[in-house]
Each structure stands twice: as structure tokens, then as C-alpha cells.
Amino acid sequence: MILVTGATGTVGREVVSQLLAAGKKVRAMTRNLAKARLDSRVEAVKGDFNERDSLARAVEGVERIFSLTLGPQTGIHEKNLAQAAKQAGVRHIVKLSAMGGDEQTRNVIRKWHDEGERAIRETGIGLTVLLPGAFMSNALHWRESIRAQGKVFSNYGDGKLPPVHPRDIAAVATRALTSDGHEGKSYPLSGPEALSIAEQVEILSGAIGKPLEYIPINDEAARVGMAKAGMPSLLIDALVPFAQFIRDGKAARVFQTIQEVTGRPAFTFSDWARENAAAFR
Ligand SMILES: NC(=O)c1ccc[n+]([C@@H]2O[C@H](COP(=O)([O-])OP(=O)(O)OC[C@H]3O[C@@H](n4cnc5c(N)ncnc54)[C@H](OP(=O)(O)O)[C@@H]3O)[C@@H](O)[C@H]2O)c1
């Protein structure tokens, strides 16, 4: 049995469906069973990273876990999960972390994940760490301004980054959860090409069939926009300095890990844009 946490989210939903396609028995965790809309073939379990008893039930009889935690509580949440897993005899955890600079330039989000990673390592359970860069699906944050004004506002300037398709992250997770040789590995995950926001907007424009304009903005305007969109201030504080990193060209590196682990090329931003065009119309 494989437990998928974050099973209702962008990556977790994909992990669930790819594990099912591989013929695996899946238990999917959510805080709200009524809202979860999980595949009828999974065993759904109610669980919350804040509630240790719920985690003890979720990991019962489980061999491997896909661990998806988020936010500043990541360290404590993953510690709760890892300790329950240790008690239950789980032998392998695949953790979704984040790319986030080297020792000197670590961003805050990666630091949250490092705490979670440490907590898992302390239990001695086998660990695989996935280190994706920006998700292609972050473009969904542009939905409103695209629908209303045909514009995309960003503080990334001309900086390039290779966004990664969530389905590819899930594909690597699925491989790691279903085949041997991934324990002790860390996998940096990027899409196949580094693109500026202007280039992403051009691709999206072609997929939607509507002219779009990229409007560069400064960090302060970006901060205001994120707050208006309801983003928690802790996350805004974590994301704004990251824009400078991108503008400086430090986030442009393309990794081949998806091809290496899955044996097929990574999906392109054009693929993602075609699949998701309807969301912007
Ligand atoms: N977006 C990016 O560009 C990017 C880049 C690198 C790394 N990441 C990492 O990717 C992760 C986010 O992945 P995602 O976008 O797939 O997530 P998401 O779509 O936001 O989904 C979050 C999931 O977490 C579950 N969850 C939230 N709080 C929980 C709690 N207290 N207990 C149990 N489950 C809880 C939710 O389940 P229920 O609501 O059903 O309980 C939901 O399934 C984060 O760790 C982030 O750091 C993101």
C-alpha cells in the first residue's frame, strides 16, 4: 500500500492517478473527505499533519509514502508524519521539496522543506527528495488578468526559468515509489527549456488564441498584487526575493532528470498551455 499525502492538490492528484495506472494500491489522504473528489479506486483516509492520531491511522499497513507538506509548518508536519511512519514500519518516503539555491542562497521555502527533510532523515526511513523549480501551473495565477485585460503582470523582468509540468514531477515520484534504486537520491526537476515570462506569455497567447501583453512590474507592485490575490504575507515575503534571483539569471538551469528517471522527454510549456488553454478563456 502506498500513502499519497496532498492527494487533492496539483501534484498529489497526478501521483494518485499514475500510481493507479501502474496497478498499485493507493491510500489517499485529505483533511476533508466530502470535498476531496478522489478516484473511487483509492482508499480514502482523513488525515491532517497537525493531528498525530490521524497520521497514525493513515500510515497503518503502508510501505511507502509520497509526502507533500507546505508552508512554514513543514518541519513539524513532516516530523509528525515521519514519526508515525517509523512506528508503522514504513520503509521509504518520497518527499516533494523545492529547488532553492545553494547553501548561501537558500530561499525561505527551501528552508522550510529542509526542516522536513531533516525530520525524515532522523527516523532512518529511506528517503528520495524531489527538488522541482517553478511549476508550469503557476501560470494559472494569471487567469484573472488574462481574462479581464489580456495582460500578464510579473516582476521577473527578462529573467528565464525552465518551468516544470506537475505531471512530470508526479511521474518521477511514481517511478521512485514503484521501482528500486531511488532511496538516498535527490532529484532536481526542471522543464526542458528556460523561458522568460514574455516567452511563456507568447506561447500561452498562441494556445488560447488571443493576443496577450506582458507588463513588467517592480517588486512592490508584485507584493501588492499577491496580497490582493489573498496570498499569505509569509509566502509573499518568501517569493519576492526569489524574483531578484530569477532576474539575475540564476534560475535558468535546465536539468535532464525527468528524461533520465522516466525514460521519456519532459513535457514542454507548449504542451501544458494547450492542455490548460480553456482555463484562460
Ligand atoms: N508552485 C511551485 O512553483 C512550486 C515549486 C517548487 C516546489 N513547490 C512545492 O510544492 C508543494 C505544493 O504542491 P501542490 O501545488 O501540488 O499543492 P496544492 O495543490 O496547494 O495542494 C496542497 C495539498 O496539501 C494538502 N494539505 C494542506 N494542508 C494540510 C494539512 N494540514 N494536513 C494534511 N494535508 C494538507 C491539501 O489537502 P486537503 O485540502 O484535501 O486536505 C492538498 O492536497 C509545496 O510543498 C511547495 O513548496 C511548489
The residue whose grid cell reads 515509489 is 177
Index of the ligand 1 atom closest to the CA of residue 47 = 33
Residue 58's nearest CA partner among 87, 92, 98, 36 is 87
User: What distance in Å separates the CA atoms of residue 174 and residue 141, rounded to the nearest whole number?
Assistant: 27
Residue 69 CA to ligand 1 centre (angstroms): 6
pLDDT exceeding 90 applies to what percent of the chain? 93
pLDDT at 191 over 90: yes
| Whole-number pLDDT of residue 100 | 85
pLDDT at 105 over 80: no
The CB of 135 under 6 Å from ligand 1? The reply is: yes
The CB of 141 under 6 Å from ligand 1? The reply is: no
pLDDT at 190 over 90: yes
User: What distance in Å separates the CA atoms of residue 264 and residue 223, rounded to the nearest whole number?
Assistant: 38
Instruction: Assess contact for 87 and 56: CB atoms under 8 A.
Output: yes
| Whole-number pLDDT of residue 31 | 98
pTM: 0.97
Q: Which amino acid is it at 271?
A: D
Residue 5 CA to ligand 1 centre (angstroms): 9
The residue whose grid cell reads 535558468 is 252
Q: Whose CA is nearest to atom 26 of ligand 1?
A: 6
Average pLDDT, the chain: 96
Maximum CA extent, the chain: 56
User: What distance in Å separates the CA atoms of residue 161 and residue 200, rounded to the nearest whole number?
Assistant: 10
User: What distance in Å separates the CA atoms of residue 217 and residue 196, rounded to the nearest whole number?
Assistant: 14
The CB of 174 under 6 Å from ligand 1? The reply is: no
Q: 176: which 3 cell numbers? A: 521512485
Instruction: Assess contact for 155 and 170: CB atoms under 8 A.
Output: no
Residue 237 CA to ligand 1 centre (angstroms): 18
Residue 50 CA to ligand 1 centre (angstroms): 14
Contacting residues for 193 by C-beta, under 8 A, at least 6 apart = 162, 254, 268, 269
pLDDT exceeding 70 applies to what percent of the chain? 100
Return the best residue to mutate from 54, 68, 97, 226 for the ligand 1 pocket (most ligand atoms within 8 A of CB): 68
| Whole-number pLDDT of residue 210 | 96
Instruction: Assess contact for 150 and 175: CB atoms under 8 A.
Output: no
Residue 242's pLDDT band (boundaries 50, 70, 90)? confident
User: What distance in Å separates the CA atoms of residue 30 and residue 140, rounded to the nearest whole number?
Assistant: 23
Q: 8: which 3 cell numbers? A: 487533492
Element (H, E) at 197: helix 197-208
What are the Cα distances from residue 227, in Å, to 71, 83, 232? 16, 35, 7
Find the radius of gyration of the CA atoms of the chain: 19
The DSSP secondary structure of 86-147, one letter per residue, reads HHHT--EEEEE------TTT--HHHHHHHHHHHHHHHHT-EEEEEEE-SBGGGGGGGHHHHH
| Whole-number pLDDT of residue 234 | 87
| Whole-number pLDDT of residue 200 | 98
User: What are the tens digits of pLDDT across the range 123-158?
Assistant: 999 999 999 999 999 999 999 999 999 999 999 999
User: What distance in Å separates the CA atoms of residue 37 and residue 43, rounded to the nearest whole number?
Assistant: 12
| Whole-number pLDDT of residue 165 | 98
Over range 70-84, report the average pLDDT: 97
Q: 224: which 3 cell numbers? A: 501588492
pLDDT at 101 over 80: no
The CB of 15 under 6 Å from ligand 1? The reply is: no
Return the best residue to mutate from 70, 96, 99, 142 for the ligand 1 pocket (most ligand atoms within 8 A of CB): 70
Q: Whose CA is nearest to atom 15 of ligand 1?
A: 10
The CB of 8 under 6 Å from ligand 1? The reply is: yes
| Whole-number pLDDT of residue 106 | 81
pLDDT at 102 over 80: no
The CB of 44 under 6 Å from ligand 1? The reply is: no
The CB of 31 under 6 Å from ligand 1? The reply is: yes
The CB of 235 under 6 Å from ligand 1? The reply is: no
